[in-house]
Amino acid sequence: MKNEIKYKEYMTILCEIYDRPLSNMMKDLYWKVLEPFTDEQCEAAFKEIIYSNRFFPKPADFREVLCGKAANKATEAWLEVLNSVARIGNYQSVKFDDPVIHSVIQVMGGWPQLCMMENSEQKWKQKEFERLYEVISAREGKHPKYLPGTHEMENFRTGHEVEPAIVEIGFVNKTKLLQ
């Protein structure tokens, strides 16, 4: 969490709801626990805890809510990737609405290589994808704009300067071809 004002507001609300004062050391501890996560993730965690916890949350409660959500998001991302592998294949270049997916697939060897996985590898690729997704999504950084497919990579290798056709995945119109 980066927004210290929002953090203080939510902590004040928690303290009032549960009639519990917090020392400065404890406030610092909670801040450190929330620091690696985005403001949006932390706000969602605060809201979930406010609406569902009967007792004042421990730092581990925040981690459980936040990491559990990250694991769910990683699985959802994998399902979107797996569906795209089946529908689109390795030849087309692709652009997911979640740029973290680009970084994860790039680390795993690229779009064409992922598309050519055997059915027997799928379980292990999913575990690798989800683990990498959780790690990469917790960091701030730049992600590739899209993932080149076999056609684009082959054109680049042979010196053909052709504008790549990129299939967008997960955007408003779900999947569309850009020219």
pLDDT of 176: 47
Same-domain check for residues 50 and 83: no
Same-domain check for residues 91 and 170: yes
**Which residue intervals of 108-179 are DSSP H helices?**
111-115, 122-137, 150-157
Classify 161 as helix, strand or coil. coil
Give a yes or no: residue 70 inside a domain.
no
Give a yes or no: residue 138 inside a domain.
yes
Q: Which domain holds residue 28?
A: 4-57
Give a yes or no: residue 66 inside a domain.
no
pLDDT of 14: 93
Q: Which amino acid is at 123?
A: K
109: left (phi over 0), alpha (psi -120 to 50) or beta: left
Dist CA 90 CA 115 (whole Å): 5
Give a yes or no: residue 62 inside a domain.
no
Give a yes or no: residue 127 inside a domain.
yes
Give me the tens of pLDDT residue by residue for the chain, a chain 179 residues long. Answer: 889 999 999 999 999 999 999 999 999 999 999 998 889 999 999 999 999 999 999 998 998 888 777 778 899 999 999 999 999 999 999 999 999 999 999 999 999 999 999 999 999 999 999 999 988 987 778 999 999 999 999 999 999 888 888 999 988 654 444 44
Give a yes or no: residue 105 inside a domain.
yes
Same-domain check for residues 94 and 50: no
Same-domain check for residues 37 and 80: no
Same-domain check for residues 46 and 111: no
Dist CA 17 CA 28 (whole Å): 20
pLDDT of 173: 53
